[in-house]
Structure 1
């Protein structure tokens, strides 16, 4: 009887955990499914199950596993909480874990408490994007996946993480901007591929012959596919919204990051979104899933629905009057392998019995799912990570790296008379006021776990000065002005004042879009009164994901400096203080445009087109198309030092001769003025019809001519030939972040793929390469250096 009870306890323990088996607080001696000891304990002989034969290929093993299940058992594995089939030795598994900016307990696949009470909480993605540092993005992924593996080894971590969020920011009111890498599709895709590589890649496995079976550290997921950027706005919500998107915008903006995430990042999962695109729910769209993700992009992994997207098809979209069996079968046929929710488990068996789908389609999806788990070592273990344990979570080095990441993402927006950095000798008494002055949990935003610790702004500033704190507002919404005057009085008696204001999850969040672009409540009044009564310099620190209209602060003579801190993570307070007191020279750039408040009144959030519409008075969206004035532009950011750029070539016009065949068809391009059209030769060629082997190289020397060491982000944009109708003003085609000591210089080499960097998408959905003079702009603002690339076609 005692042995039976022990076996039952072991069975229950493995079913609850998706990783190491734990009895009480003591880890047992196996951490994977195909362990002979585990099979003996549940009364099975492992040698009888070919899916545990390590000598066989993964696809053969998975075929054996799936074939052993009854249909009723198969469908039970196709929700996020897969039940397992213990009669064949298959344990339960929770697919849903999150790792947006650190291991999270959202979803239930990873948990905190006991051996691992918390994990390192990095800055939100919008902050990391502001660093424009590929190396940083990949390393954040590597640290998170190491902590995830350590948690897995002690029975508290999953292996499949539904991160990152790579939706392009189309509208500044979207509540989930904080989760994203910003508004430029190339930057978003570059972030995606690097972060995913950091999460997934195992050193030494990059030369795997068949990428379908490449080993994984953890599994990453590109989400939310596609054209998803409305959550809850008056009259519409994400569960029922139909995004009416042109093919031009789909190709040019919404699809690019996902293509890069799958093809360059080799992500092992894609999550489809709640919304419809042009009438069809994304999770039931055969063209979007099987045609594009699987066939064109060659996904090596599985496709999962956002939680409860299949349910929303029936209840919210009421798409074609579907029953649950209809919706589930249409989604499965479109290529959806896993339903985060209960619709598949509830409806798929009936759908098979009703003849809507074949059982073989169910098998196909299960194979996609279980091959990923085999690649992760769920069945065989991953000995290369066996030594990771609780001491590898929240290590001092990881927390120090989180602080470095926070500082790299800080963006200096204003610094009149070089008031920053402050000197501890001169500014000994500091007033720190505002609703975020003592922020802790607000700094880590959403999709967070339990951080290792919090360093609030007050704690950070206390290391440099004597701090007097006054909140000024009861909370971020600041609906009461009674605390405003006491805060202003505090500033009157200080050598300098730091106001920490902005937004939090009560103002912008998942399922909560913004109605305006202003600071909430009486925050503006607080900032102005403090600025007018303060004795010394006033520094405004803004915590937010989306931009806010702080034109009043930008123009206020008493507000001498402005720093955007985003949501800087657990070490945020120290990072902010280090920047303001000069222990770190800020080098971040805004990854999105900050619009003036009246932008929100010019067009509804539901208007999906990015290009301006002069007839309706819509000004366009993102830096690529916006034709109005803004508070701060995309790519803006100051430093405590000065940099100088030089192009290391004498000629400023680079000729590119693209060879085409005699029978090559040329495309017509519409120009706003017919006089600007090329008068001879081929106007443009469809990119898919070209070999696309041509490249253009530009080398830039970046010299630090200031008095402080610092990092500089060198942006490279392409600009299409003048006069082409309806195309972008410019687009990012490269960027590099370099550290340059004072008095020194660094060379940065850009190599542009001609087809990728200089092509455009025309109004009917062709990606074409136009002939003519294309611009390359290196840098922003005063440091911008133009180069011309002259493209011509020759037989």
Structure 2
């Protein structure tokens, strides 16, 4: 989101220098004591009336100073200054200037990075984490250490495996990303007054809108990138997660991105902002720019002739808040020149003040409000730290287990060589946009709970530039009952403003793995920490490396989670939320190409499992277990009738003439079909299994080769059975998007796939 943590400090200092009045003395919260006599402080009034009263009391200079993230205080009205920018991607973070750690709150629970949490495919877990994070956020607000507006989650599609920020996302599938967004936002915002669900615990933000998934690749950066996106790809890939985040998650905010989309900066596009977010999706909240995005489209993209034009077009397009000083500096002059009206400014302030009032920020002392008793005792609680451990366990993916080499049995494995640049990782485990964890358990610390560990880094950092540390690592493997190699990436390889150029392990890591595996006395387990996929075909095909585990960036308890899985204390059930491509993939398409669909004439293989036509290292949804599951279809329809309205023209002499019908021309809102899937655990261990339901529509519509329409994680004891029911929304889940960006429902046979099983359902049109 922000250019970097350094830029977070830069913008805060810049605004503080430009507007020193923001540090004026004032109350710590609005509407307290004598200052609470204003009508905007009266909780008995509707929020819109309170907001109107507050805005009418403001001067124009005061209004413009409220259009930025470091909003100036209004001492005469008893309103303190407010910093809008806080982060809570996977725990309360101090990346934004609105949150700090210290005193009674030295840290907060650091959950796994999002890409690993998504690998659990456990919707209830995602919401539970959101609830824990918002509890800690509210507690820190009450302690004066944080705001209540958190610019999370990141719901961009992980379109290209080289993207440095893919780690922040829930993966490559629009359905999964949308489901994650909706559930995590619900957990964060958790209406704090059951009698008034309009109230918010904290305010979440869906970012970065839209088609944003390139940071800095081969000289192309996000500040200058113009994403050329077809209407088809925009509507069936890039937009759906944001729509779900706003409509189902009811997020209180959306953040527009740095890039342009088809020649227009996203923060200056009224079609994307006012028409779509606020109009079509009904956003009840505010729209904020990514940090200095308005300045970027003026200074770097040269989209407008003057800074006043940039300020005016942003506000008139629907932007309510600027992360950065640009709107505060130029909006007043834009208004004096007639480029923007005071009514436009008032509308922006209406949207931001409304969210603050929904948060209770104008209700007086927070101690007297719901959640007002939360404090430092509610941060880093044992249940929250246990949840962080459980989330890591649920997300970790067993990629390979040749001849059941895993789990290692402590009775047989007494000495373990623990090798690799991430073997004693701490900070690396929490990924980016993290805060200060409650504590760390590194992999070697976790392993020592089960066996004697001989630790050798093998490399000087993940860059592994030399082989001079190989010999001690090889000797450790020769003298141990088993070897666990913790390799992979970190933020020096993949991060914000840092995209990869290849999919290989850095430096000499592959050589170290091969050398150790040849020398090891016992089995070698390769554990990979990374946000993005890695081509480890050499290890996948090497039986001297019988076990491979992907651990993402597993959060503060990651080392314990890894050890629990390696030694069989926990049965892995995670599945990959993104495709792992071979290295040759990156030679066939540039990151700058936004097209999802393959183009054989150009040797373009397509993107994500929905369209990719090439070979994979590991496919989307891959993940093994220490037990064995079987699936069977217990109940499913063979035909579904779709009623039509009068606009379709699909019947001629009682003969159906349409191969597909526009969803807007149907009457199937609320039309569902149900699939009942029996799942059996026929193996020796209790475990969790993710049931995936895919659909392949009739061909000839430019549709995906298959698309996920449902998923569910279920836990089964050994030798037990459970039935999972999936209610498929026919119009939403089985529709496709045509080249004009229109949603259509293909008529005919839709093929459903559950594991190795298939079942055909025919959609038939019905006159009403």
TM range (shorter): over 0.9
1:789 partnered with 2:761: yes
The structural deviation recorded for 1:202 is 2.4
Q: Give the 5 Å matches for 1:494-533.
A: 494-533=480-519
| Partner Cα separation in structure 2 for residue 139 and residue 794 of structure 1 | 42
Deviation at 1:794, TM superposition (A): 2.3
Contact kept in structure 2, 1:717 and 1:734, CA below 8 Å: yes
Q: Which residue of 1 aligns with 2:8?
A: none
Post-superposition shift, 1:256?
0.1
Question: What pairs with 1:332-347 in structure 2 (closer than 5 Å)?
Answer: 332-347=315-330
Match status 1:33 vs 2:48: no
Aligned match for 2:162, one of 169, 173, 177: 173
- Following the alignment from structure 2 to structure 1, what is the Cα–Cα distance between the partners of residues 743 and 101? 48
What is the CA–CA distance in structure 1 between the aligned matches of 2:292 and 2:526, rounded to whole Å?
41
Q: Does 1:291 align with 2:298?
A: no
User: After superposition, what is the alpha-carbon deviation per residue over 1:411-445, rounded to whole angstroms, capped at 9, x for unaligned?
Assistant: 00000111111111100000000000000000001
> Structure 1 residues 568 and 17, CA, compared in 2 at 3 Å: closer, same or farther?
farther
- Whole-Å separation in 2 of the counterparts to 1:748 and 1:16: 56
Q: Quick one: structure 1 residues 638 and 88, their matched pair in 2 at CA, closer, same or farther if it must change by over 3 Å?
A: same
Number of equivalent positions: 744
Q: Secondary structure at the match of 2:600?
A: coil
1:414-453 map, 5 Å? 414-453=400-439
Structure-2 change in CA distance of 1:263 and 1:451 (3 Å): same
Give the direction of change, closer, same or farther, for the CA distance of 1:458–1:354 in structure 2 (3 Å limit). Answer: same
SS in 2 for 1:329: helix
Maintained 8 Å contact 2:650/2:657:
no
CA distance in structure 1 between the aligned counterparts of 2:646 and 2:332, rounded to whole angstroms: 56
DSSP-derived class of the 1:491 partner: helix
Q: State the alpha-carbon separation in 2 of the partners of residues 769 and 142 from structure 1.
A: 37
Aligned to 1:595: 581
Provide the residue aligned with 2:527 in structure 1.
Answer: 541
Paired residues of 2:24 and 2:73 also in contact (CA < 8 A) = no
Contact 2:487 2:526 in 1 (8 A): yes
| Other-structure match for 2:39 | 50
| Pick aligned residue for 2:615 from 614, 618, 629 | 629
Equivalent residue for 2:224? 240
Report how far residue 332 of structure 1 moved. Answer: 0.2
2:61 maps to which residue? 72
Tell whether 2:739 aligns with 1:756.
Answer: no
- Return closer, same or farther for 1:477/1:666 CA change in 2, 3 Å cut-off: farther
* SS of 1:188 mapped into structure 2: helix
Aligned pair partner of 2:722 in 727, 730, 746? 746
* Alignment match, 1:42: none
Task: Look up the SS of the partner of 2:335 in the other structure.
Answer: helix
**Residue range with higher mean Cα deviation, 153-162 or 382-391:** 382-391
2:525 partner SS: strand
Structure 2 counterparts to residues 604-619 of structure 1, below 5 A:
604-619=590-605
Residue aligning to 1:674? none
Task: Indicate the SS of the match to 1:327.
Answer: helix
Residue in structure 1 matched with residue 311 of structure 2 by the alignment: 328
Q: Which residue of 1 aligns with 2:300?
A: 316
SS in structure 1 opposite 2:108? Answer: coil
Query: Per-residue displacement from partner, 1:290-314 (whole Å, max 9, x unpaired)?
Result: 0000000000000000001001011
1:390 CA drift (Å): 0.5
For residues 650-691 of structure 1, what are the alpha-carbon distances to aligned partners after superposition, in whole Å with 9 as ceiling and x for unaligned? xx66111112245523499xxxxxxxxxx9543211001212
- Do residues 376 (structure 1) and 376 (structure 2) align? no
TM-score (norm 1): 0.92
| Distance in 2 separating the partners of 1:325 and 1:594 | 46
**Unmatched segments (≥5 aa) in structure 2:** 1-20
Q: Calculate the aligned-residue CA RMSD, in Å.
A: 1.9
For 2:637 and 2:354, locate their aligned partners in 1 and report how far apart those are by CA, in whole Å: 51
Describe how 1:56-135 pairs up with structure 2 within 5 A: 56-135=45-124
Question: Hey, what does 1:675 align to over in structure 2?
Answer: none
My pick for the range that moved more, 133-142 or 659-668, is: 659-668
Partner secondary structure for residue 461 of structure 2:
coil
Q: Distance in 2 between matches of 1:558 and 1:16?
A: 63
Contact 1:681–1:793 (8 Å) recurs in 2? no
Q: Is the Cα–Cα contact under 8 Å of residues 646 and 665 in structure 2 kept in the other structure?
A: no
Determine if contact 1:17/1:156 at 8 Å carries over to the other structure. no
Preserved CA contact (<8 Å) 1:473 1:484: yes
For 1:154 and 1:682, locate their aligned partners in 2 and report how far apart those are by CA, in whole Å.
Answer: 62
Give yes or no for contact 2:193–2:370 (8 Å, CA) kept in 1.
Answer: no
Task: Verify the 8 A CA contact 1:131 1:410 in the aligned structure 2.
Answer: yes
Equivalent positions of 1:332-371 (< 5 A) are 332-371=315-354
> How much does 1:484 deviate?
1.8
- Following the alignment from structure 2 to structure 1, what is the Cα–Cα distance between the partners of residues 647 and 48? 44
1:725 to partner: Cα distance:
4.5
The 1:663–1:273 alpha-carbon spacing in structure 2 relative to 1, beyond 3 Å, is: closer
Question: Residues 167-316 of structure 1 correspond to what in structure 2 (within 5 A)?
Answer: 167-202=156-191, 205=194, 208=196, 214-316=198-300
SS in 2 for 1:385: coil
3-state SS of the aligned residue for 1:736? Answer: strand
Kept in 2, the 8 Å contact 1:410–1:587? The answer is yes
Q: 1:54-98: CA deviations, max 9, x gaps? A: 221111111111111111111101111001111222210000000
Q: Deviations over 1:501-554 (max 9, x none)?
A: 000000000000000000000000011001000000000000000000000000
Question: 1 CA distance for matches of 2:465 and 2:681?
Answer: 46
Q: Structure 1 242/666 Cα, relative in aligned 2: closer, same or farther at 3 Å?
A: farther
State which of 664, 672, 679 in structure 2 corresponds to 1:695. Answer: 672
Deviations 1:625-673 (A, max 9, x none): 0000010000000000001112113xx66111112245523499xxxxx
Q: Secondary structure at the match of 1:631?
A: coil
Q: For 1:653 and 1:260, how far apart are their aligned partners in 2? A: 27
